[in-house]
Amino acid sequence: MFSSRSSRLALSLIGFAATVASAAGARADAISDFYKGKDLTVIVSSSPGGGYDLYARLIARSIGKHVPGTPNAVVQNMPGAGGITSANYLYNIALKDGSVIGALQNTVPFEPIMGNKAAQFDPLKFNWLGSPNTEVGLLLLWHTAKANTLEDTKTIETVVGTSGTASTPAFYARVLNAVFNTKLKMVGGYPGQTEAFLAIERGELDGYPSTFWSSLKATKPEWIKDNKVKILVQYGRKPHPELPKVPVARELATNDSDRALLDVSMAPLEAGRPYLAPQNVPADRVAALRKALMDTFKDKEFLDAAAKANLEVDADPKSGEAIAALLRETYNAPEATKARMLALYNAK
């Protein structure tokens, strides 16, 4: 009798496994059928030639072979309003069938929390797919600047470039001033980092308050090689392994309130270079896109091309689930912390 029952149980388990495998195969076939012969459009929220665009074009070269049905990935640039134009398009207009994904500047998902009324989207409803890396921001000064440490900038007025009072560099400079009592004097009017870097070389500025380490390596490797700049502090959720001797802002903060402010303010850096699918895309296609993106980040052809272009890809890339969790944590931060951040963001 025992043997008979065991046989029936074994047959039942085999049948169950076969049913599960059949269902999984059917889902895979359905996804493959959907993508076969289609274009996978990658909307990039910045202009051609920048870091986000370079990443997207490299990803587009590899991601198709990792999606069932091997769609042809096509990059479409949609700059405007600091990336908000493309986010609004992805949320309100783009197809919600998995044939369109987006690459956003990492500040864009946080625009609604900053009270930006032009942001007509809910970032918590997007299907986040992943990011090739996380970013670490730097306060860097030219080698001739008087200040040599973050402590020095508490007593020495240090002139840093920004593109305007509402720009990301200005915001991060104000955060550093608020947390560490530094005397960073912001001078606006520089269209972007490229122009500010030229001004630093000409001696018009002491430094820049918010370049990414990955960007510095890609655009000014000679500054690093020739010790042309001093990196006073790095900021982000965790330190960069290539900067073991550079102080970390979060570790220098002396109280929980300041650490909380740094966490919510630097959340965009932790998001890295985020990719998403619009809301309401079928769950099985979202899962396929997430897997395809993470497989791309491990793809040798992609990694070789990224290394050649000096683009960082983390050994442990950011998953879509991790980006979604980061956004929930930030949007659910204590009201006092968000109010303090917003006050600094809107300061003139």
Query: pLDDT > 90: what percent of the chain?
Result: 81
Architecture of the domain spanning 36-134+272-332: 3-Layer(aba) Sandwich (3.40)
Tell me if 36-134+272-332 shares its fold with 137-268.
Answer: yes
What would the two tokens of residue 175 be? 């955060």
Neighbours of 294 (CB within 10 A): 18
User: Taking all residues of the chain, what is their mean pLDDT, rounded to a whole number?
Assistant: 92
The three-state DSSP-derived secondary structure of the chain is CHHHHHHHHHHHHHHHHHHHHHHHHHHHHHHHHHHCCCEEEEEECCCCCCHHHHHHHHHHHHHHHHCCCCCEEEEEECCCHHHHHHHHHHHHCCCCCCCEEEECCCCHHHCHHHCCCCCCCCCCCCEEEEECCCCCEEEEEECCCCCCCCCHHHCCCEEEECCCCCCHHHHHHHHHHHHHCCCEEEECCCCCHHHHHHHHHHCCCCEEEEEEHHHHHHHCHHHHHCCCEEEEEEECCCCCCCCCCCCEHHHHCCCHHHHHHHHHHCHHHHHCCCEEECCCCCHHHHHHHHHHHHHHCCCHHHHHHHHHCCCCCCCCCEEHHHHHHHHHHHHCCCHHHHHHHHHHHHCC
What would the two tokens of residue 99 be? 């044939």
Give the closest residue to 189 by CA, choosing from 217, 165, 173: 165
Residue 16 has pLDDT above 70, yes or no: no
Asked if residues 141 and 232 have their Cβ atoms less than 8 Å apart, the reply is yes
Convert the pLDDT of each residue in 303-341 to its tens digit: 999 999 889 999 999 999 999 999 999 999 999 999 999
The whole-number pLDDT of residue 4 equals 58
Close Cβ partners of 264 (under 8 Å, ≥ 6 residues apart) = 330, 333, 337, 338, 341
Q: Comparing 21 with 240, which gets the higher pLDDT?
A: 240
When pLDDT is averaged across residues 51-66 and rounded to a whole number, the result is 95
Rounded Cα gap, residues 329 and 124, in angstroms:
11
Give the dihedral of Cα atoms 107, 135, 332, 96; nearest 10 deg.
Answer: 60
Residue 21 has pLDDT above 70, yes or no: no
What would the two tokens of residue 315 be? 């050994």
Q: Class for domain 137-268, per CATH?
A: alpha beta
Close Cβ partners of 245 (under 8 Å, ≥ 6 residues apart) = none
CA 135 to chain centre: 7
Confidence of residue 11 (pLDDT cuts 50, 70, 90): low
Convert the pLDDT of each residue in 197-244 to its tens digit: 999 999 999 999 999 998 898 889 999 999 999 999 999 988 999 999
The whole-number pLDDT of residue 191 equals 85
The whole-number pLDDT of residue 193 equals 87
Rounded Cα gap, residues 210 and 50, in angstroms:
16
Residue 25 has pLDDT above 70, yes or no: no
When pLDDT is averaged across residues 161-190 and rounded to a whole number, the result is 93
CA 248 to chain centre: 19
- Could you tell me the residue ranges of all domains in the chain? 36-134+272-332, 137-268
What would the two tokens of residue 58 be? 């490299």
Rounded Cα gap, residues 343 and 348, in angstroms:
10
The whole-number pLDDT of residue 1 equals 41
